[in-house]
Amino acid sequence: LTCLLVCIETVGDQDLLYSSIDRDRITTLNETVSGSGAAIIKTWDKRNDPEPELITDADDQLILHIPFTSPVKLSTFLLRPSSNPDNTPRTIKLYKNLPESAINFDDIPSLPASKVTTTLDSIPTVADTSEVISFPLQQVKWSNTDSVTIFVEQSLGGDNTGLTFVGFKGKSTGI
C-alpha cells in the first residue's frame, strides 16, 4: 500500500482521468493542425508544455468532443490557454453526452440554454497565471458522463482561440 501511494504521487494527480479518455475518438472542429485537439490531452507531467497547441483555423470558434472509455463522474475541468492572451477563450460551454450527430457548428450554437451543462466565464489568461486553471464542476450534474463537448464561442479578442492543455479530474466507473 505504501508503494502504491508513492507511485501515485510520482505520477501526479491520481484523480486525473487521462487514461479514461478515448483519445482515438476525439473530434475537433476548426483546428489549424489536424490532430492538435487530441494532442492537448496530455499527461499530468506534460500539462505545462506549451506545445503542442490547439489553434483554431477559420475563426475563434472551437468544438472539442472528448469521449471516455467508460462512464466517469467529473469533479474538475482543467485548462491551460494559449501563450497569446488574446487567444484565451472568453466563454466555454460544456455539454454532457451530446450525440456525435450534434457535434457541428450548425447544431451546437442553436441548442437551448438548458442543454448546456456548465458555462465558464472570466477565464484567466497566461498573463494572469502560468498554472493550469481548475474549474470545479457540480458533481451531481457530471455523474455517468460518457463524453464532454467543449464549445468556445469566441476568444478574448484574437482572431483565433488557442489551448495548450485540457484535462479532467474525477472518478472512472470502468475497470
HEC string for the chain: CHHHHHHHHHHCCCCECHHHECHHHCEEECECCCCHHHHCCCCHHHCCCCCCCEEECCCCCEEEEEEEEEEEEEEEEEEEECCCHHHCECCEEEEECCCHHHCCCCCHHHCCHHHCCEEECCCCCCCCCCCCEEEECCCCCCCCEEEEEEEECCECCCCCCEEEEEEEEEEECCC
pLDDT under 50 in the chain at which residues? 1-12
From the list 168, 157, 167, 150, the residue with the least C-alpha distance to 31 is: 150
**Rounded Cα–Cα distance for residues 159 and 59 (Å):** 6
**Rounded Cα–Cα distance for residues 154 and 60 (Å):** 5
Would you give the distance in Å from CA 126 to the centre of its chain?
16
pLDDT of residue 158: 87
pLDDT of residue 107: 94
**Rounded Cα–Cα distance for residues 78 and 166 (Å):** 6
pLDDT of residue 108: 94
pLDDT of residue 13: 57
pLDDT in tens, 47-93: 999 999 999 999 999 999 999 999 999 999 999 999 999 999 999 99
Indicate the pTM of the whole model. Answer: 0.90
